Amino acid sequence: MGAFKSGCVVLLLSVLACSASQLEAASRRRILVSPEVHSDGRVTFRLNAPNAKRVDVNVQFVQGLRLMTRSKMGVWSVTLGPAEPEIYEYSFIVDGLQIVDPSNSWLKVWLRNSKNLVEVSGKEPMFFQQQQVGHGTVHIHKYRSKSLGVTRGLYVYTPPGYETSENVRYPVLYLLHGMGDTEDAWTVVGRANVIVDNLLAKNKARPLVIVMPYGHTPSVPPDMRSIGNYGAFERDLIEDVIPFVQERYRVSSNQKDRAIAGLSMGGGQSLTIGLGNLELFGWVGAFSSAVPRTGKLDNLLAELKETDDKLNLLWIGCGRKDFLFEANQKLIERLKSDNIKHIAHITDGGHEWRLWRRYLNELVPLLFKADK
């Protein structure tokens, strides 16, 4: 009987020890913090992967993969930096397979690929970071596109005070995303609403409405939608999106109060649609743009040269390391040779959101000024 009791005690202690170990492991999984941004700008990345043989992190502010270290509990970690204040993409590579960080729900989705985002703050808030200022509102819509025969998504930003300024009609910026993005990109990654909130608080820009539509259109193959052929999107924008916005928001219908701008694919769309419809758009901005093909571009610039007085601003920005830099440089040279008024904003950097947020911050204060 004594041996039986002794055996039971040993078994109970064993079960309790096992349970304690499991509870500890479960507790660590629940409270796992990743990424953890430190006050000095360093960032710690963590991943619970006890069965993995190797885990690396790939983050924008360092070059190449960085090997992570495994703890006894199977949690891999590494601390990198310090990084300059900015928003960075990162992902984990687990035994050769790229995965997102399960502890971080902030994702940048690009075609069939997703990456996490991490924000590093500085001593002073950056222009794209939320500050103690008045905030506008981001509205999410679904609308029926008659021109395409489908239901599509649309984001609309209204500035602080919009709801109480009943007699005011606002200028409007149609802001377009890139090839791999959707209509939420300029808010989730680009921080367009926050950037404009901060500009308005400093009286650096006119209050405006920003419309962010979905730039792709149904076609085959799905991962090449709209690239180089923007006709269907142009019809959707002009025949469906603009009327939808005009009906539901207090925006001006005057050409001088309507702008269009975008990045990469959206930059190409902005040039094609904006310069091709000068009766609708008085301001055009192109960030790292996929410049229209030569024939199309020739026609657009020929028309622009004849009616240059209609366009208040043509603004072109691109980084020197961008794979589209050569095409943008040729466009700028062509504008110079044709004596077409424009602003060329050439910076360091590549094809990246870090630049596009800055370009938007620099373009918006120029829009809707009384004088050209």
Q: Which contacts (CB < 8 Å, 24+ apart) does range 200-205 have?
A: 200/133, 200/134, 200/136, 200/159, 200/160, 201/131, 201/133, 201/134, 204/365, 205/364, 205/365, 205/367
CA dihedral 299→300→305→310, nearest 10 degrees, is: 140
CA 136 to chain CA centroid, Å, is 18
pLDDT, position 220 = 42
Pairing of strands 113-120, 107-110: antiparallel
* SS3 state of residue 63: coil
Please give the CATH superfamily to which domain 137-366 belongs. Answer: Alpha/Beta hydrolase fold, catalytic domain (3.40.50.1820)
CB 242 within 8 A of CB 204: no
Enumerate the β-bridge partners of residue 211: 156, 174
What pLDDT is stored for residue 5 in this prediction?
53
Sequence length of the chain is 372
Q: Rounded to the nearest 5°, which phi and psi values hold at 371?
A: -105, 150
As a whole number of Å, the CA-based R_g of the chain is 26
pLDDT of residue 309: 80
**Pick from 311, 315, 274, 271: which is nearest to 294 by CA?**
271
Q: Give the separation between CA 209 and CA 162, rounded to whole angstroms.
A: 9
pTM more than 0.75: yes
Each residue's pLDDT expressed in tens, for the chain with a length of 372 residues? 555 455 544 444 454 454 555 545 554 455 899 999 999 999 999 999 999 999 999 999 999 999 999 999 999 999 999 999 999 999 999 999 999 999 999 998 876 788 999 999 988 899 999 999 999 999 999 999 999 889 999 999 999 999 998 889 999 999 999 988 999 999 999 999 999 999 999 999 999 999 999 999 876 444 445 554 688 899 999 999 999 999 999 999 999 999 999 999 999 999 999 999 999 999 999 999 999 888 888 889 888 887 768 899 999 999 999 999 999 999 999 999 999 999 999 999 999 999 999 999 999 999 998 654
pLDDT at 1: 54
The domain limits of the chain are 33-120, 137-366
State the pLDDT at residue 123.
87
Q: What is the pLDDT of residue 219?
A: 60
Domain 33-120 in this protein, CATH class? mainly beta
- State the pLDDT at residue 224: 44
- 368 Cβ contact list (under 8 Å, min separation 6): 171, 206, 208, 256, 257, 259, 283
